[in-house]
Amino acid sequence: MENQKLIPKHGGYRQLKSFQTTEIIFDLTKIFCEKFYRTNKTDRSYRTAEQMEQAARSGRQNIAEGSQASGTSKKTELKLIGVARASLEELLLDYEDFLRQRNLAVWAKDSPQVAEIRQLAYKSNRTYTTYESYLDSPESFANCAICLIHQANFLLDRQLKTLEQDFLTKGGFTENLYRSRKEFRGQQ
């Protein structure tokens, strides 16, 4: 532990592909809700839009918060990344419900459209505008969002596995704090 900082480097969430993808999902969800839910002034459609936006926001914000907390609590980081993953699962169901309730198609994961959307993940400096060509119809828009949610969920699942493995091999903050203190006392 010598030469190692007590509080390890943490944060850096803006460089995570999971965060970048959830930021796009959040932006697209705001636009989607304005376009397809808020045009109908019923309380139910407004509630659905609010819930979708909150789930998208939660996915993004919990990645940031978990990453920031990781310096002093791996347990909190794991928990918040799990919450982000759960929020995106909720949002996925909302988009699937939207398509099903309107008798619109859910694109198969091996469809040409999904393959095109997947390829866009490799573009640098992606934003929601990267996906503009898929935002012209409700079916295309919702399926684009679904594809992005699947990508984010895949990334978060991998992130969770890595965090679990790191915790098992390196321990958490409290363990490292105790180990550092013990080493410090041994040097005196």
Q: Taking 50 as the threshold, does the pLDDT of residue 1 lie above it?
A: no
For 87-145, the pLDDT digits (tens) are 999 999 999 999 999 999 999 999 999 999 999 999 999 999 999 999 999 999 999 99
Q: Taking 80 as the threshold, does the pLDDT of residue 181 lie above it?
A: no
Residue 3 lies inside a defined structural domain of this protein? no
Residue 8 lies inside a defined structural domain of this protein? no
Q: Which of 70-79, 161-170, 171-180 has the lowest mean pLDDT?
A: 171-180
Longest dimension (CA), the chain: 73
Q: What is the mean pLDDT of the chain?
A: 87
User: How many domains is the chain built from?
Assistant: 1
pLDDT number for residue 113: 96
Residue 5 lies inside a defined structural domain of this protein? no
Structural domain of 132: 13-182
